[in-house]
């Protein structure tokens, strides 16, 4: 007998599974995609222990006859592709005919399925590949697949699985990405019996689906994009630049209803945002590209996560244009008044002076401070064109020398510099710098992590996905002085926070802090959130104290995204 032998089918399948099934999320992706391909209107995904112990996917799609169900267990068996020509007309998620046999070869697999009008269904069970056990089953009007103990027979793979919370996050991503690509299908995701995410069919309201995935914080900042060219459309939603994330998690691209990772597309989006983002921040953008399937090769990646365009440049160009157009039209930019020359600046100063001369000297500090909601401070009413005039470190004692005049629009402080110019200060930005500096200093000395628990502790009810995210980041949060503990029953306890954040509603900042990429990003988020409670309607003395505090930390100011002193004022509209 020769040395070269054909491998047994089970081993072939296991090898194939190595490419297709990397972790529980891959199973979730493949099964849920099959459900969508089967025309399901609702897909339910249930997980136990982050998908490591069990993954169940239930759909109300077209189901399978017994014959088809048996065939689908075979490698290279598919209903979605007939010939080579078909590879360039693919509109289904699947086409390779390998997901089901691959999954069945590395798990305890059970499939129950029936066609719509059928009176009875079929149940097939397989343990780590091999021959299926075939049984009759009641009609289920669709398909239900249970995948238990993934990699039970491949211990080497099992070792590569991460913490259950991490695997759960990946599963969530798999579901939400598919949900974004298919707003017409309703999705439900449950973990250990609890619903952690759901979205009803929302084809007529794609914004709803986008908001359901991106969360309520991003929703008010979303702008629609749309660019139509011959044979190519780009649609979707992007967040205005005042809403950013510390990672590229919110940046997703879809090609013909398939989530894909594509560096060229991602860079095109990032380039379109270019200068509008603070350093180190990433935009939020859901970009859907539709083009002739013949102009894109979907068969270039075993998990179908990448594609190859026949003309990548024009696709990138269209995507960039779609994002740029939306950004230009964004409400936060409409006050923009072109490049400022020194003359224009002088005109501004004069206009503001004239306005101030007419204005009543307002006893601003007598008015009650207006509570500012997050929307007001970060949302569309925000002072979008505000740009720092200080992009290098300010001169020594610059801020302390400013003379406070009044409060403008309950948002800004009008001050006069010793040189006689009008300087507009954003007090929340001042507060942010001061807090940021305090936190960063204590962090560097290790004091944030070492601080003892306060008496203060709060119970917090978060959406389960957010709760998972926060608990997952518990060790990293501890480094920046935030201690959380699982309280069970869907909530968590906040045992310790840095003093600067005690007055701030933790629901608003904790999740974003947990999601930040590293300690310095976490500190930046906390500072920004804490600064939102800054007093704006202050007395002269209070303003001076804050500005002097800013001088103390001024050297660090420009290291952190500076947004302290602004010009380019809508107040010009009042010029009579």
Ligand X SMILES: Nc1ncnc2c1ncn2[C@@H]1O[C@H](COP(=O)(O)OP(=O)(O)OP(=O)(O)O)[C@@H](O)[C@H]1O
Binding site residues, ligand X, CB under 6 A: 30, 34-35, 38, 59, 61-64, 72, 77-80, 94-100, 143
Question: Of these partners, ligand X, Mg ion, none, which one is at the site of residue 72 (CB under 5 to 8 Å by kind)?
Answer: ligand X
d(CA 346, CA 338) in angstroms, rounded, equals 15
Q: DSSP alpha helices (H): ranges in 242-332? A: 263-273, 312-329
Show the tokens assigned to 296: 């894109």
The per-residue DSSP string of 350-370 comes to HHHHHHHHHS----GGGSPPP
Show the tokens assigned to 177: 């990405």
Looking at beta carbons, which residue is closest to ligand X?
94
Q: Which residue's CB is nearer to ligand X, number 99 or number 326?
A: 99
Residue entry with tokens 């920004």 = 528
Least separation, in Å, of the C-beta of 236 and ligand X? 25
Least separation, in Å, of the C-beta of 26 and Mg ion? 11
Do 351 and 570 form a contact (C-beta atoms < 8 A)? Answer: no
Q: Which residue's CB is nearer to Mg ion, number 37 or number 472?
A: 37
Residues that bind Mg ion (CB under 5 A): 34, 94, 99
Question: Of these partners, Mg ion, ligand X, none, which one is at the site of residue 59 (CB under 5 to 8 Å by kind)?
Answer: ligand X
Least separation, in Å, of the C-beta of 143 and ligand X? 4
Question: Of these partners, Mg ion, ligand X, none, which one is at the site of residue 333 (CB under 5 to 8 Å by kind)?
Answer: none
Buried b (16+ CB within 10 A) or exposed e, 421-440: ebbbbbbbbbbbbbbbbbbb
Q: Which residue's CB is nearer to Mg ion, number 295 or number 305?
A: 305
Starting at the earlier edge strand, list the strands of the sheet with 42-48: 133-138, 120-127, 108-114, 142-148, 54-59, 42-48, 186-191, 194-199
Q: Which residue's CB is nearer to Mg ion, number 34 or number 316?
A: 34
Taking the C-alpha atoms of 17, 20, 23 and 27 in order, what is their torsion angle to the nearest 10 degrees? Answer: -100
Please give the span between the terminal C-alpha atoms of the chain, in angstroms, as a whole number.
Answer: 99
d(CA 78, CA 87) in angstroms, rounded, equals 13
Question: Of these partners, Mg ion, ligand X, none, which one is at the site of residue 62 (CB under 5 to 8 Å by kind)?
Answer: ligand X
Least separation, in Å, of the C-beta of 61 and ligand X? 5
Question: Of these partners, ligand X, Mg ion, none, which one is at the site of residue 121 (CB under 5 to 8 Å by kind)?
Answer: none
Question: Of these partners, Mg ion, ligand X, none, which one is at the site of residue 143 (CB under 5 to 8 Å by kind)?
Answer: ligand X
Least separation, in Å, of the C-beta of 146 and ligand X? 12
Least separation, in Å, of the C-beta of 77 and ligand X? 6
Question: Of these partners, ligand X, Mg ion, none, which one is at the site of residue 549 (CB under 5 to 8 Å by kind)?
Answer: none
Q: Which residue's CB is nearer to Mg ion, number 94 or number 427?
A: 94
State how far Cα 355 lies from the chain centre.
Answer: 43
Question: Of these partners, ligand X, Mg ion, none, which one is at the site of residue 199 (CB under 5 to 8 Å by kind)?
Answer: none
d(CA 440, CA 524) in angstroms, rounded, equals 9
Least separation, in Å, of the C-beta of 153 and Mg ion? 22
Q: Which residue's CB is nearer to Mg ion, number 94 or number 481?
A: 94
Least separation, in Å, of the C-beta of 30 and Mg ion? 5
Q: Which residue's CB is nearer to ligand X, number 201 or number 280?
A: 201
| Closest residue by Cα to residue 237 from 176, 333, 327 | 327
Q: Which residue's CB is nearer to Mg ion, number 208 or number 303?
A: 303
Burial class from Cβ neighbours inside 10 Å (0-12, 13-18, 19+) for residue 506 reads buried
């Amino acid at each position: 007998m020769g040395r070269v032998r054909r491998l047994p089918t089970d081993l072939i399948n296991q090898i194939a599974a190595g490419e297709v099934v990397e972790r529980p999320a891959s199973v979730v992706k493949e099964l849920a995609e099959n459900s969508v391909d089967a025309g399901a209107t609702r897909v339910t995904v249930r997980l136990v222990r982050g998908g490591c112990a069990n993954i169940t996917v239930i759909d109300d799609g077209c189901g399978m006859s017994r014959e088809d169900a048996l065939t689908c267990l075979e490698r290279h068996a598919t209903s979605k592709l007939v010939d080579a020509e078909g590879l360039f007309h693919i509109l289904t998620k699947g086409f390779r005919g390998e997901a089901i046999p691959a999954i069945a070869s590395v798990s305890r697999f059970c499939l129950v399925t029936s066609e719509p009008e059928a009176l009875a269904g079929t149940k097939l069970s397989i343990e780590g590949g091999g021959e299926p056990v075939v049984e009759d089953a009641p009609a289920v009007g669709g398909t239900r697949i249970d995948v238990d103990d993934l990699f039970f027979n491949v211990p080497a793979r099992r070792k590569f699985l991460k913490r259950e919370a991490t695997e759960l996050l990946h599963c969530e991503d798999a579901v939400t990405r598919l949900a974004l690509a298919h707003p017409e299908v309703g999705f439900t995701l449950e973990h250990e019996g609890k619903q952690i995410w759901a979205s009803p069919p929302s084809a007529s309201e794609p914004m709803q689906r986008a908001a359901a995935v991106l969360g309520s914080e991003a929703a008010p900042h979303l702008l629609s994009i749309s660019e139509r060219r011959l044979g190519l459309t780009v649609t979707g939603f992007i967040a205005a630049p005042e809403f950013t994330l510390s990672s590229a998690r919110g940046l997703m691209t879809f090609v013909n209803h398939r989530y894909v990772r594509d560096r060229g597309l991602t860079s095109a989006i990032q380039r379109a945002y270019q200068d509008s983002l603070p350093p180190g921040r990433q935009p939020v953008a859901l970009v859907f590209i539709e083009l002739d399937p013949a102009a894109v090769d979907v068969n270039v990646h075993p998990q179908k996560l990448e594609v190859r365009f026949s003309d990548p440049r024009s696709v990138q160009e269209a995507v960039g244009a779609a994002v740029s157009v939306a950004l230009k039209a964004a409400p936060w930019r409409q006050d923009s008044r072109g490049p400022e020359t020194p003359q224009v600046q002088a005109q501004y100063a004069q206009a503001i002076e004239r306005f101030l001369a007419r204005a009543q000297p307002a006893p601003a500090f007598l008015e009650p401070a207006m509570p500012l909601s997050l929307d007001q401070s970060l949302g569309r009413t925000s002072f979008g064109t505000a740009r720092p005039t200080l992009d290098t470190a300010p001169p020594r004692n610059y801020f302390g020398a400013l003379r406070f005049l009044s409060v403008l629009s309950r948002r800004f402080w009008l001050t006069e510099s010793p040189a006689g110019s009008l300087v507009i200060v954003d007090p929340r930005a001042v507060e942010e710098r001061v807090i940021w500096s305090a936190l960063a200093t204590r962090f560097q000395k290790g004091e944030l992590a070492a601080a003892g628990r306060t008496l203060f502790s709060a119970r917090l009810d978060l959406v389960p996905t957010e709760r998972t995210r926060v608990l997952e980041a518990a060790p990293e949060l501890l480094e920046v002085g935030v201690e959380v503990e699982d309280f069970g029953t869907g909530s968590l306890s906040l045992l310790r926070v840095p003093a600067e954040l005690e007055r701030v509603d933790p629901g608003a900042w904790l999740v974003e802090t947990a999601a930040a990429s590293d300690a310095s990003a976490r500190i930046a988020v906390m500072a920004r959130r804490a600064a939102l409670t800054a007093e704006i309607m202050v007395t002269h003395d209070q303003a001076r104290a804050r500005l002097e505090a800013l001088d103390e930390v001024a050297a660090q100011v420009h290291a952190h995204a500076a947004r302290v002193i602004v010009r380019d004022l809508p107040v010009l509209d009042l010029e009579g």
